[in-house]
Amino acid sequence: MQMSPVTDPSQGGPAARSPLYVLFLAVVAAISGFLFGFDTAVINGVLLFLRRQFSLSNLETEVAASALLLGCLLGAAGASLIGDRIGRRKSLLLAAILFAASTVGAALANSVFVFSFGRLLGGLAIGLASVLTPVYIAEVAPARSRGRLVSMNQLAIVVGILAAYVVSWALAGLGDSSWRWMLGVAAIPSLAFFFGLVFIPESPRWLVGNGQREKGREVLARIYGAEEADVQVRLVEEAASTEQGTWGEVFAPAMRRPLLVAIGLAVLCQVTGINTVLYYGSILISEHFRGESAGAALMANVIIGCTNLVCTLIALRCLDRWGRRTMLLTGSAGMTVSLVLFVIVSRLPGISPLVILTCVIGYTGFFAFAMGPLPWVVISEIFPNKIRGRAASMATSTLWTSTLIVTFTFLSLVHALGVSGTFAIYAILCVVSFLFIWKLVPETRGKTLEQIQREWEA
């Protein structure tokens, strides 16, 4: 007997008739998130050994750390063009190939230049995936579970980060060449991502919006059932009929506020400094706190990675209950308090490293609870279908620009202002983040993508 899709009015849309199928689609797409997290965070352990092997200066270290991020910026900038032209799925297949090529190239590098080029390729893959994976998941997910499913990508990112920390810690005993093995491990999930993509369909909203109505309906029928699939196709076509799908439409008056919200969140989730901990944590601990060895620094990274994972799981549990806005405000406030405490205690003579680590854990935890997963969710759901790829690409390019600036300047800022002075700047930016969210970010929990579009236009 065929059952009608269940609609929960409080959640604003029909439930999936095949929730396990939707979950499968989200899990496959989210493997890119694991690779995203692993490839970005593995540099934390790699730099300790790469710095020794190639006798890198602070500037050269910043370049080695930033090469991936430059690729991320370029990949995100081109993601909308690629994703809108060839589809979300084929674009992610391209990203899978780039992930694999980057892993091999960087692991076998015999110079900092070759290493940086290999990392650049990985950045291109991350840039593509960071834009299109949340978009793909948002376009296959029912409204009532969209927040949780899109945030699976963020969960995969933090699992990848933790995996990178654990692998780095476990392989550190191999000596100066251990960085090659740290990087090479990522070949396994790269292949899993590629083969997983073979078994998932194109985004149904992309198919309908690009004249492949029946193919899109087939995918929607698998998700919702035949009756509701017809309703969903109609909604997508109605939304698409009022959209031009051009850059002019992205910058239209009706889109100015959502564009400001998306770019603001993209910038603020990075300039508040989280990647200084994720990328430079081992260097920061081993070089700026006396008596802490490389092994202890890598172990501290594992603790931070575990915190990141646990708080992301809590976020997944809460975001479709609490709402996006409430969680973002809570996270920004918690990050502010944690960084203020860090600045204070780091200036006290003889303070235990455990106290400092506790402040960093608090800061990381509040980030993982809100500013980690929520910007990706909001960016993926506040734009109309035909311009979603372009607008998300623009916002994500801004995010990677901010990440690149923070990563490329961190060691120089620490040299000029000290650890406490540098993190005082990030604390001030956390306050700015709180005020921005309070004034401008709307609540989107439980609304269909088409409902959100109509509200912007009202």
Task: Give the DSSP H/E element, type plus range, for residue 412.
Answer: helix 385-440
CA distance 135 to 203: 9
What's the DSSP call for residue 445?
T
CATH class for domain 9-200+242-457? mainly alpha
430 or 280, higher pLDDT: 430
CB atoms within 10 A of CB 113: 12
Sign of CA dihedral 78, 84, 85, 89: positive
Looking up tokens 């990087």 gives: 183
Question: Which residues neighbour 136 within 8 Å (Cβ) at sequence distance 6 or greater?
Answer: 25, 29, 88, 89, 92, 203
The 10s digit of each residue's pLDDT in 115-139 is: 999 999 999 999 999 889 988 998 8
How far is the CA of 304 from the CAs of 201, 295, 316, 422, 445, in angstroms?
Answer: 36, 14, 18, 20, 29
Say if strands 7-8 and 13-14 run parallel, antiparallel, or are unpaired.
antiparallel
Residue 221: CA atoms inside 13 Å, Cβ hemisphere, count?
Answer: 10
Place of tokens 């589809």: 87
pLDDT in tens, 247-262: 787 888 888 888 999 9
Task: Write out pLDDT tens, residues 203-225.
Answer: 888 888 888 888 888 888 888 87
Residue 358 has pLDDT above 70, yes or no: yes
Calculate mean pLDDT across residues 85-114. 93
Q: At what angle do helices 187-197 and 88-107 cross, to 10 degrees?
A: 160
Q: What residues contact residue 6 under an 8 Å CB cut-off, 6+ apart?
A: 14, 15
Identify whether the C-beta of residue 22 lies closer than 8 Å to the C-beta of residue 145: yes
Output the six-digit token pair for 163: 């995996």
- 3-state SS, residue 200: coil
Whether residue 306 contacts residue 387, with contact meaning beta carbons closer than 8 Å, is answered with no
Euclidean distance between the first and the last CA atom of the chain, given in angstroms as a whole number: 41
pLDDT category at 5 given cuts 50, 70, 90 is: very low
> Per-residue DSSP letters for 82-112?
HHHHH-HHHHHHHHHHHHHHHHHHHHT-SSH
Q: What pLDDT score was predicted for residue 14?
A: 63
Instruction: Say yes or no to pLDDT of 4 above 50.
Output: no
Quickly list DSSP for 68-84: HHHHHHHHHHHHHHHHH
* Confidence band for 61, pLDDT divided at 50, 70 and 90: confident
| Encoded amino acid at 414, one letter | V
Question: Domain ranges in the chain?
Answer: 9-200+242-457
Q: What percentage of the chain reaches a pLDDT higher than 90?
A: 36
| Residue 290 confidence (pLDDT) | 55
With cut-offs at 50, 70 and 90, classify the pLDDT of residue 47: confident
CA distance linking residue 424 with residue 426, whole number of Å: 5
Whether the Cβ atoms of residue 434 and residue 315 lie closer than 8 Å to each other: no
Cβ atoms within 10 Å, residue 327: 24
